[in-house]
C-alpha cells in the first residue's frame, strides 16, 4: 500500500459525505459513540490516543508531532466510526480481509525499509498511528479498496450510505456532532448542560 492509496481513500470518503447519514443523540456516561448498537467507550478511545502520544514521545520529535495533532481524540473517534461503516458495508457485500491480506499489505508498505521506519512514517500520517494500530489501518484501506473494486468508482457510495444509515450512529457531544457532510466530527456541543451552567464554566467531564 502506498501513500497515494491512503490519500485516495480519504478523498473518496469525503466525496461520500452527502450520502452518509447519522444521528446524534444522548449517550451513556463512559460512551464516546454508539455504532450499530455497540458502544465505543471513552476508555477504548483514550487508549488509542495514549498509545499514539507515547509513540510520539519516543520518536525523538515528540513536541512537533504532538503539536501537529491537537484534536487527536476527535480524529481517532472519527476514524473508529468510519472503520465500522466499512466493516458493515463489506459484511453486507460478502467482502472480507484476511490476516494474510494485512500481512502482505504491511510488507508492501514497508518495502525495503525497516519496521522502525514504517512506524515513524505511520506517526506522521494525517491520522497518526501508534505501532499497534498500523494493522487496523491497513485493514481499513483494504476494505475500502475491495468495496470500490466490487461496486466500481461510480457506485461504491451506495453500500457505504446504506451501512451508515443502518448503523444509527450516535456521538457523545463531548467529542462533537457527527457531520455527514464531512464524514467527521464537528464542533463539540453539550446539549445536556443545563442553563444553570455558567457560560465560562467548562462542561463537567470535558
107 is a domain residue: yes
The answer to whether 24 and 178 have CB atoms below 8 angstroms apart is yes
53 is a domain residue: yes
The answer to whether 74 and 178 have CB atoms below 8 angstroms apart is no
Tally the domains of the chain.
1
40 is a domain residue: yes
26 is a domain residue: yes
> By residue range, what is the domain housing residue 32?
3-180
Query: Running DSSP on this structure, what letter comes out for residue 188?
Result: -
Q: Which of 95, 104, 87, 161 is nearest to 138 (CA)?
A: 104
Q: How far is CA 169 from CA 4, 31, 36, 147, 175, in A?
A: 29, 12, 7, 21, 13
56 by DSSP, 3-state: which?
helix
Q: What is the CATH number of the domain that holds 154?
A: 1.10.4030
77 is a domain residue: yes
Query: One digit per residue, pLDDT tens: the chain, 206 residues?
Result: 544 454 455 555 544 444 444 444 455 779 999 999 999 999 999 999 999 999 999 998 889 999 999 889 998 998 999 899 999 999 999 999 999 999 999 999 998 888 999 999 999 988 899 999 999 999 999 999 999 999 998 888 888 878 888 898 899 988 888 766 555 566 655 443 332 333 333 333 33
pLDDT for res 156: 85
12 by DSSP, 3-state: which?
helix
CA-CA distance, 58 to 170, in Å (whole number)?
35
pLDDT for res 153: 86
Helices of type H across 95-187 = 99-110, 115-123, 134-151, 157-167
7 is a domain residue: yes
203 is a domain residue: no
Amino acid at each position: 500500500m502506498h501513500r497515494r492509496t491512503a490519500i485516495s481513500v480519504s478523498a473518496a470518503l469525503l466525496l461520500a459525505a452527502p450520502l452518509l447519514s447519522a444521528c446524534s443523540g444522548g449517550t451513556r456516561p463512559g460512551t464516546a459513540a454508539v455504532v450499530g448498537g455497540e458502544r465505543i467507550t471513552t476508555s477504548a478511545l483514550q487508549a488509542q490516543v495514549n498509545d499514539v502520544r507515547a509513540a510520539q514521545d519516543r520518536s525523538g520529535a515528540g513536541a512537533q508531532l504532538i503539536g501537529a495533532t491537537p484534536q487527536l481524540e476527535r480524529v481517532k473517534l472519527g476514524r473508529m466510526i468510519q472503520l465500522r461503516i466499512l466493516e458493515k458495508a463489506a459484511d453486507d457485500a460478502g467482502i472480507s480481509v484476511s490476516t494474510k491480506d494485512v500481512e502482505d499489505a504491511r510488507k508492501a508498505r514497508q518495502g525495503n525499509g525497516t519496521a522502525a521506519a514504517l512506524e515513524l512514517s505511520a506517526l506522521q500520517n494525517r491520522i497518526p498511528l501508534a505501532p499497534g494500530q498500523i494493522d487496523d489501518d491497513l485493514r481499513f484501506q483494504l476494505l475500502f479498496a475491495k468495496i470500490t473494486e466490487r461496486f466500481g468508482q461510480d457506485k461504491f457510495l451506495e453500500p457505504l450510505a446504506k451501512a451508515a444509515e443502518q448503523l444509527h450512529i450516535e456521538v457523545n457531544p463531548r467529542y462533537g456532532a457527527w457531520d455527514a457532510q464531512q464524514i467527521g466530527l464537528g464542533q463539540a456541543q453539550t446539549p445536556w448542560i443545563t442553563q444553570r451552567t455558567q457560560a465560562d464554566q467548562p462542561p463537567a467531564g470535558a
